[in-house]
Amino acid sequence: MHDLRLRAAGPAGVLTPAAPSTAGTRGWLRWVGPVVSLAIVGVAASHFRGSDFHRIAALVPRTPLFWAVFTLAYFTQPIMDFVIFRRLWGIPAAGFPALVRKYISNEVLLGYSGELYFYTWARRRATSAGAAGAGKPAGAIATGTPFGAIKDVAILSALVGNAVTLVMFVIAYPTLGQLNLGLSGRTMFLSIAVLLGSSLAVMLLRGRVFSLPRRDLLFVAAMQLIRVLGATALLALMWSLVLPQITFVYWLMLATLRLLISRLPLISSKDVLFAAAAVLIVGAGSGIAPLMAMMAVLLIVAHVSVGGLLAASDLLGLEGRA
């Protein structure tokens, strides 16, 4: 078996046979997956404190359509990541659990902790996969290095999110003013200035910031846009399946507003702000507050369940053989 180490090979860059890596490096990389999985379960489970499970369970829909939409919405991020890295690296199906762990790590642990984990996963495959005959090595990365590709995908995700937020702000600004949520105009416009300034800075320095070819960058940006719009539509659909008496247009408006509020910097208590906006839009007696509590608990249950399955696969050694 040959070890594979990252080495630039012309403009494309591939993983090529190199000198064996140290046993110490391979050892600690092997433990990253199990540690991340157990941390996900522990942190997610801690959010259950104070939850009224009986009340929440009574609100959970029993229809298969709801659970199909919930599952699709939950895995939207990993699915789009898989499409992206399948194009960039030719990532195998065995890489999908790593992308799921990347998504949950970002949601439950620290921001961009998922990217750090995924980099260690890609590096471990680079140092432990054997050469596949005389052709391209097993686990080869066809475009750039793991760090460069993961960095570019993360930056484009933020840029696309900022662009969507700016467009939504222009559309929703009159509505936000009418809702009288207590937001000062200065805070709102400073938040927009931060988003716009950071995005413009990246675009001006794109030649130094990005590693991938322009063609791949456009593909990644398109997939990120589909992800943002698709996730927003699926969230609105889930809400409408729980409370069908409210017109779907209002749910779509709320899902869009939620995305807008969640991405605006310099604004504190975003959950409280969104809850207030939701009550003002659909009414206090609509059942919106219990719905939001139920969805929050369902998301935590999903994180604990999926994280537990990943932890079990790690402990059984399945991840190491992937």
| pLDDT at residue number 54 | 67
> Strands (DSSP E) along the chain, which ranges?
4-7, 14-17
Among 240, 229, 228, which residue's Cα sits nearest to residue 291?
240
Q: How far apart are CA 228 and CA 116, in angstroms?
A: 22
CA dihedral 234, 239, 241, 242 (to 10 degrees): 150
Q: How far apart are CA 97 and CA 26, in angstroms?
A: 20
Mean pLDDT of 178-204: 77
Buried b (16+ CB within 10 A) or exposed e, 231-258: bbbbbbbbbbbbbeebeeebbbbbbbbb
> What's the Rg (C-alpha) of the chain?
22
Instruction: Report whether pLDDT(307) > 90.
Output: no
* Residue 15 β-bridge partners: 6
Q: What's the distance, CA 185 to chain centroid?
A: 30
CB-based contact 61:295 (threshold 8 Å): no
- Find where tokens 């805070």 sit: 187
Q: How far apart are CA 186 and CA 209, in angstroms?
A: 31
Domain residue ranges in the chain: 4-321
* Verdict on whether the full-model pTM lies above 0.85: no
Among 311, 290, 303, 275, which residue's Cα sits nearest to residue 48?
303
| pLDDT at residue number 138 | 46
The residue type found at 302 is: A
Mean pLDDT of 128-153: 57
The residue type found at 170 is: V
Mean pLDDT of 139-145: 48
CB-based contact 143:86 (threshold 8 Å): no
More confident residue, 77 or 142: 77
* Residues 6+ away with beta carbon under 8 Å from 90: 140, 142
Instruction: Report whether pLDDT(280) > 80.
Output: no
* Residues 6+ away with beta carbon under 8 Å from 11: 213
Which helix or strand (DSSP H or E) is residue 246 part of?
none
pLDDT in tens, 82-122: 999 999 888 888 889 989 989 988 887 777 778 888 888 88
* Residues 6+ away with beta carbon under 8 Å from 285: none
| pLDDT at residue number 173 | 73
Mean pLDDT of 273-296: 76
Q: DSSP string covering 193-254, please?
A: HHHHHHHHHHHHTHHHH--S-HHHHHHHHHHHHHHHHHHHHHHHHHHHHHSTTS-HHHHHHH
Among 266, 284, 263, which residue's Cα sits nearest to residue 275?
284
